[in-house]
């Protein structure tokens, strides 16, 4: 199994997980978010990635979210379930449940906080990927789990029978390009493609299949970037890329670490963007906190208005 067995490309949205103010899982709001993102044109969805606050949930809650997402998406777009866990047996349990639930793929990052040796990492990914017949994504996001997959390691791991794709989330665009060059012939490579760099790669035929982003802060414009780029409308696609970069700069600030942004945590910031637009963002779950400072919320609302996004009173 490799990239030629699937046809996934474009903008895939990592779903936030809405909680109530009391910290309960809000499955109705989650279903509504899935339907919203599908309506906005997302080409695919990820459940319980970094955006989804997987670490704040029990295994049973993670299973309920997987089932809910598959049901709400109703086969309209591929649904990928992240099975992040420090213990391989628990990741295997989540992977098998994803398959039984009707998901389209799983995503397997390095085990968080473990900092495995290369040999340990290979054994972990092999065990989890082999536990299901679903296509498997790798996930390289060292900002969260503390382990950075090198291009050499990625090249080795994509040789596993059902590893077909990687979400390359390192901040360095040159490493994304190196990954494309190393494994793009056989493996889908998603990364920072909703950008001027990504647009140049698409226009020049230099590879790269899509962008896996946190939520859909610019709504339908995010998948539309790819629809335009594929058609050759580089001017309009470039404007969307510029808007996206400028909007995220407003949210993140200059000194962000990729996870904690100008006004609060990444998940809380995305939920504030959704809530201000009347969407079902909900609350983060403790220890993460919602953005409640009126001045911060006013600044986020101003950014939304500046970029033509609605704000509800």
DSSP state, residue 102: T
Instruction: Tell me the C-alpha distance between 83 and 93, whole Å.
Output: 9
What stretches of 196-273 adopt beta strand conformation (E)?
210-214
What stretch of H or E contains 296?
A: helix 294-306
Coil, helix or strand for 199? helix
In eight-state DSSP terms, residue 255 is S
| Phi and psi torsions of 30, nearest 5° | -65, -45
Q: Is 269 within 8 Å of 290 (Cβ atoms)?
A: no
Instruction: Quickly count: other Cβ atoms within 10 Å of residue 119's Cβ.
Output: 8
Among all chains, which residue has been given the structure tokens 């403790």?
A: 286
- Say whether 167 is catalytic: yes
Pairwise CA distance, residues 48 & 53, whole Å: 6
Which is nearest to 191 in space by CA: 154, 153, 162?
154
Q: If you write DSSP's letter for every residue of 144-159 in order, what string do you get?
A: HHS-PPPHHHHHHHTT
Check 124, 139, 263, 283 and give the catalytic one. 139
- List 63, 167, 271, 288, catalytic entry: 167
The H or E element spanning position 45 is: strand 44-47
> Does 288 qualify as catalytic in the annotation?
no
Across 85-204, the runs of DSSP E, i.e. the strands, are: 105-108, 136-140, 163-168, 188-190
Cβ contacts of 98 within 8 Å, gap of 6 or more: 66, 81, 83, 106, 132, 134
Q: What is the DSSP letter of 31?
A: H
Catalytic residues: 139, 167
């Amino acid at each position: 199994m490799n990239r030629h067995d699937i046809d996934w490309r474009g903008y895939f949205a990592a779903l936030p997980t809405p909680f109530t103010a009391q910290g309960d899982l809000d499955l109705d709001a989650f279903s509504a978010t899935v339907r919203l993102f599908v309506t906005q044109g997302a080409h695919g969805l990820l459940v319980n990635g970094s955006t989804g606050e997987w670490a704040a949930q029990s295994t049973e809650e993670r299973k309920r979210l997987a089932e809910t997402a598959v049901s709400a998406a109703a086969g309209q777009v591929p649904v990928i379930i992240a099975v992040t866990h420090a213990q391989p047996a628990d990741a295997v349990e989540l992977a098998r449940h994803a398959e039984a639930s009707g998901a389209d793929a799983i995503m397997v990052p390095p085990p968080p906080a473990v900092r495995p040796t290369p040999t340990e990492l290979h054994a972990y990914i092999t065990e989890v990927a082999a536990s299901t017949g679903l296509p498997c994504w790798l996930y390289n996001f060292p900002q969260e789990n503390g382990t950075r997959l090198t291009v050499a390691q990625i090249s080795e791991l994509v040789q596993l029978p059902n590893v077909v794709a990687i979400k390359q989330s390192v901040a360095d665009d040159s490493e994304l390009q190196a990954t494309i060059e190393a494994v793009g012939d056989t493996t889908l490579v998603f990364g920072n493609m909703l950008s001027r760099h990504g647009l140049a790669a698409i226009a020049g035929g230099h590879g790269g299949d899509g962008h896996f982003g946190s939520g859909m802060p610019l709504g339908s414009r995010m998948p539309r970037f790819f629809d335009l780029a594929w058609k050759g409308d580089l001017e309009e696609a470039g404007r969307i890329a510029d808007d996206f970069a400028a909007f995220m700069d407003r949210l993140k600030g200059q000194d962000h670490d990729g996870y904690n942004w100008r006004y609060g945590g990444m998940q809380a910031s995305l939920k504030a963007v959704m809530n201000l637009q009347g969407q079902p963002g909900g609350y983060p779950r403790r220890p993460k906190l919602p953005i409640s400072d009126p001045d911060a919320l006013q600044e986020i609302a101003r950014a939304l208005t500046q970029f033509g996004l609605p704000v509800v009173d």
